[in-house]
Amino acid sequence: MQVIIRPTREDASRLAARLIAKALRAKPSLVLGLATGRTMERLYALLVAMHRDEGLDFSLCRTFNLDEYIGLPPTHENSYRYYMNDHLFRHINIDPRNTHLPDGMAADLGAACRRYEEEIAEAGGIDLQLLGIGRAGHIGFNEPLSALRSRTRDKSLTPVTIAENSTLFKDPTMMPRRALTMGVGTILECKRLLVLVTGESKAAVLARAVEGPITSMISASAIQLHPNCTVIVDEDAAKDLQEKDYYRWIFENEPEWGEFRESN
């Protein structure tokens, strides 16, 4: 795992966007795992700008989202399908048939989850999975005590997650209490992980996730097990990390980051 610290939220988002763009240019048929949330909105805006201004091509790309609320139709403004259409899909040249989210409206949720796993496998697995970290330490909706080998399934949301996300609803009491999510095991099978975390409110949980013990109480700590994981953070989110100087040294000295330093 590499942790890269950038000065601002904007710098962190720009680096993450450039990494995704580089992967997509290298493999136009990239299978891309996507996340939602406020942290990702700037990243998606940057990808849209790259498509518009630089011709970044999504026409052969396939996507799989981490999660979806149970009981919200795709047309609901708080569903993650609506979020993805609004922030990314309808602004780029991706084929809508190649965009996938768990089906939170399925009559048989278990069958829908099994089918989602099958669709990922049929696509050849996820090449690059984008992740954020929730305040409960979760990736996707893998709340505390999620098994590290878990698969796509339905989960009850914690009061912390409900409090954090319900502010996005016009009527906070209408936020669903359950969601479908890729499992921790599903995420760890992705070929590469790209984690974007910004803001001081995430500092404590980020430190536990990347420098603390691996534990089901902080499902994000499982990223420590992945052989190809890059964590990009801003200075605010990095404030509780113990090895900040080393992480800064990596970006300033490792050859793989040279092309990204030159344009800063």
pLDDT at residue number 91 = 98
Query: pTM surpassing 0.95?
Result: yes
pLDDT at residue number 196 = 98
pLDDT at residue number 264 = 52
pLDDT at residue number 263 = 62
pLDDT at residue number 10 = 97
Instruction: Yes or no: say if 145 and 104 are a contact pair by the CB < 8 Å rule.
Output: no
Q: Which CATH architecture has domain 2-261?
A: 3-Layer(aba) Sandwich (3.40)
Strands (DSSP E) contained in the chain are 2-6, 31-34, 62-65, 67-69, 99-100, 128-131, 153-156, 178-181, 193-197, 229-234
- Angle (nearest 5°) at CA 97 between 186 and 226: 20
Read off the DSSP letter of residue 218. Answer: B
- In a structure prediction context, what are the per-residue pLDDT tens digits for the chain, which is 264 residues long? 999 999 999 999 999 999 999 999 999 999 999 999 999 999 999 999 999 999 999 999 999 999 999 999 999 999 999 999 999 999 999 999 999 999 999 999 999 999 999 999 999 999 999 999 999 999 999 999 999 999 999 999 999 999 999 999 999 999 999 999 999 999 999 999 999 999 999 999 999 999 999 999 999 999 999 999 999 999 999 999 999 999 999 999 999 999 998 665
pLDDT at residue number 215 = 98
Q: Is 65 exposed, middle or buried (0-12, 13-18, 19+ CB in 10 A)?
A: buried
